[in-house]
Amino acid sequence: MSLYSPVVDAAARTPDALAVRDLVSGLSYGELDARADTFLAALRGRGVRPGDRVLVWTDKTAESVAVAQAVLRCGAIHVPVPRGNPVRRVARIAADARPALVVTDHGERVPGAVCVPCADLFREAAHGPDTVPHPVRSADPAYILYTSGSTGQPKGVCVSHGSALSFVDWACGELRLTAADRLANHASFGFDLSVFDLYGAFRAGASVHLVGETLARAAEPLVDFVWESGITVWYSVPSALVLMAEYGGLLERGPGALRACVFAGERFPLKPLKDLRRGWPDVRLLNWYGPTETNVCTSYEVTAADLARTTDIPIGSAAGGDTVSLEDGEIVVDGPTVMLGYWGGRPRTGPYRTGDLGRYDADGRLEFRGRIDDMAKVRGHRVEPAEVSGVLMAHEAVRDAVVFVVGAGLDARLHAVVVPEPGCAPGFAQLRQHCSDFLPPYMTIDALHTVSGFPRTANGKVDRAALGDLVASGAAV
């Protein structure tokens, strides 16, 4: 079974059923299948072969979903990059992935890469005959998701067809998805949450409704979208739900057609979670956990019993056929949903060590206790502060920089501590704009602290603990 098979199968069963809808138009399963075949012929005409990477740098549209399907049918590897990423970061991703082709739906181009607009690609093979999908094996790579890297460079998490489908099949069963469901896709295509939205819908023959990048941050219109689209299954980071509740009247308006609400990616603050549980007594609420490298590996369902809680909810029990254990307090995952490895690196062997700390509660369910290193979730996305520091140090007025995450959950913010070049005084607005030229919006700094030098440990390294204490106390100004 391949990751493109669900659309092929659904098109054969129910060709007229809605498959995907963006904010402008939609495609039935028959139309999506035919459009994917057209793009498949065009990709082959462009010389894309099995194992090649195709970087898709587009807005969230039904057309880009068809392109992704074509890439998979070609036996190539889909590399989704959200439109909001600046060209310089996309160029760094392209330098690592070495794509045979970059597909866009806008005017920007990636230096040194072969770029083609979706519209041109479609016209190139309007009558292309070569539309037989390439047979793939379960272990063949399907897509690469680029996350923030500890070396200061984005790193690509490579996932196989079988791994993705192991998660999707489990999720479809857990939520009892049917062809009548209408799933929202709030996450970007470059974020692992979107794997369920898209492929869960396709596996069930349901429809997926895409939330554009602008709408995804607009509370009241987002609540309107849930109601007007008749969404039955929602999946997002908790901060999106908190935003919708605080500023969009989510609880006052009621759940509409919603029957299941799933959240992942960061802790859900207890008070708004309880409000949601009270306000939606008939809607299933599920907390899913797992880094990009494992997709979802544990699950916990929030029930009325959790209204008596005074601490965070657990991340739950193993999911997706995985085995989840603790080794010296670290959460370790093995099983079918775990990645192949990082693109360009050695294939993964053995269990994946998440770098997350956990413990068991009295009922044997896992609780999340934080990170072993300083990686954190900011605005629902995984951020390596070293990548942000590297960008800041590229500015001509900055001699050195360290970035900290201050706060947790919805209050997590990126604080930059910089040592200026002699005679320079870089301002917050200036460095924030510099970050936006190289990084996606969620990795742009929220505060700036200027110091004459960093405290050091005995071996000459920056004393991050001491510097972090200065930032938290406000002493670093």
What are 121-131's pLDDT values in tens digits?
A: 988 875 556 78
Same domain (yes/no): 175, 236: yes
Residue pLDDT, tens place only, 129-147: 678 999 999 999 999 999 8
Q: How far apart are CA 442 and CA 420, in angstroms?
A: 24
Residue bearing tokens 């657990």 = 314
Task: List phi, psi (to 5°) of 286.
Answer: -130, 135
Residue pLDDT, tens place only, 250-279: 999 999 999 999 999 888 888 889 999 999
Torsional sign, CA 397, 402, 403, 404: negative
Residue 51 pLDDT:
98
End-to-end CA distance of the chain: 56
- CA distances to 116, 164, 318, 319 from 170, rounded to whole Å, are 36, 10, 11, 7
Residue 32 pLDDT:
98
Position with higher pLDDT, 163 vs 462? 163
Q: How far apart are CA 5 and CA 455, in angstroms?
A: 56
Buried b or exposed e, range 324-339, using 16+ CB within 10 angstroms:
beeeeeebbbbbbbbb
The CATH number of whichever domain residue 343 belongs to comes to 3.40.50.12780
Position with higher pLDDT, 310 vs 132? 132
Same domain (yes/no): 337, 447: no
Query: Measured in whole angstroms, how far is the alpha carbon of residue 179 from the centre of its chain?
Result: 25
Residue bearing tokens 């413990």 = 359
Query: Mean pLDDT of all residues in the chain?
Result: 92
Q: How far apart are CA 463 and CA 317, in angstroms?
A: 37
Of the three residues 371, 389, 417, the one that is the final residue of a domain is: 371
Position with higher pLDDT, 464 vs 111? 111
- Residue 459 pLDDT level (bands cut at 50, 70, 90): very low
Residue pLDDT, tens place only, 77-120: 999 999 989 999 999 999 999 999 999 999 899 999 999 999 99
Same domain (yes/no): 366, 401: no
Please state whether beta strands 155-160 and 141-147 pair in parallel, antiparallel, or not at all (unpaired): antiparallel
Q: How far apart are CA 111 and CA 52, in angstroms?
A: 19
Of the three residues 303, 336, 371, the one that is the final residue of a domain is: 371
Q: How far apart are CA 391 and CA 184, in angstroms?
A: 34
Residue 149 pLDDT:
66
Residue 151 pLDDT:
62
User: Which residue segment(s) compose the domain that 448 sits in?
Assistant: 376-473
Q: How far apart are CA 8 and CA 265, in angstroms?
A: 31
Q: Which of 59-73, 301-315, 355-369, 462-476 has the lowest mean pLDDT?
A: 462-476
- Residue 242 pLDDT level (bands cut at 50, 70, 90): confident
Residue pLDDT, tens place only, 210-240: 999 889 889 999 999 999 999 999 999 988 8
Residue bearing tokens 């790579």 = 141
Residue 460 pLDDT:
45
Which residues contact residue 228 at a Cβ distance below 8 angstroms, ignoring those fewer than 6 apart? none
Same domain (yes/no): 224, 260: yes
Residue bearing tokens 């920056």 = 462
- Residue 158 pLDDT level (bands cut at 50, 70, 90): very high
Position with higher pLDDT, 405 vs 326? 326
Is it the case that residue 40 has pLDDT exceeding 80?
Answer: yes
Same domain (yes/no): 386, 400: yes
Q: Determine the Cα angle at 292 with ends 288 and 294, to 5°.
A: 70
* Rg of the chain (C-alpha set): 22
Look at residues 292, 264, 48 and name the one whose alpha carbon lies nearest to residue 163.
Answer: 292
Residue pLDDT, tens place only, 197-209: 999 999 999 999 9
Of the three residues 319, 354, 371, the one that is the final residue of a domain is: 371
Same domain (yes/no): 307, 351: yes
Q: How far apart are CA 382 and CA 150, in angstroms?
A: 11
Look at residues 443, 441, 399 and name the one whose alpha carbon lies nearest to residue 422.
Answer: 399
Look at residues 321, 356, 294, 3 and name the one whose alpha carbon lies nearest to residue 157.
Answer: 294
Residue 154 pLDDT:
86
Asked if residue 283 lies in contact with residue 348, where contact means CB atoms within 8 angstroms, the answer is no
Residue 374 pLDDT:
66
Share of the chain above pLDDT 70, in %: 96
The CATH number of whichever domain residue 430 belongs to comes to 3.30.300.30
Is it the case that residue 307 has pLDDT exceeding 90?
Answer: yes
Is it the case that residue 458 has pLDDT exceeding 80?
Answer: no
Same domain (yes/no): 364, 418: no
Same domain (yes/no): 256, 301: yes
Q: In what order do the strands lie in the sheet with 341-342?
A: 115-117, 101-104, 53-58, 77-82, 141-147, 155-160, 341-342
Q: Cα-Cα-Cα-Cα dihedral of 202, 203, 205, 208, to 10°?
A: -40
3-state DSSP call for residue 10? helix
Q: Cα-Cα-Cα-Cα dihedral of 122, 127, 130, 136, to 10°?
A: 40
Same domain (yes/no): 454, 336: no
Same domain (yes/no): 281, 138: yes
Same domain (yes/no): 314, 437: no
Is it the case that residue 457 has pLDDT exceeding 60?
Answer: no
Residue 27 pLDDT:
98
* pTM listed for this prediction: 0.84
Residue 88 pLDDT:
93
* Structural domain count, the chain: 2
Same domain (yes/no): 360, 380: no
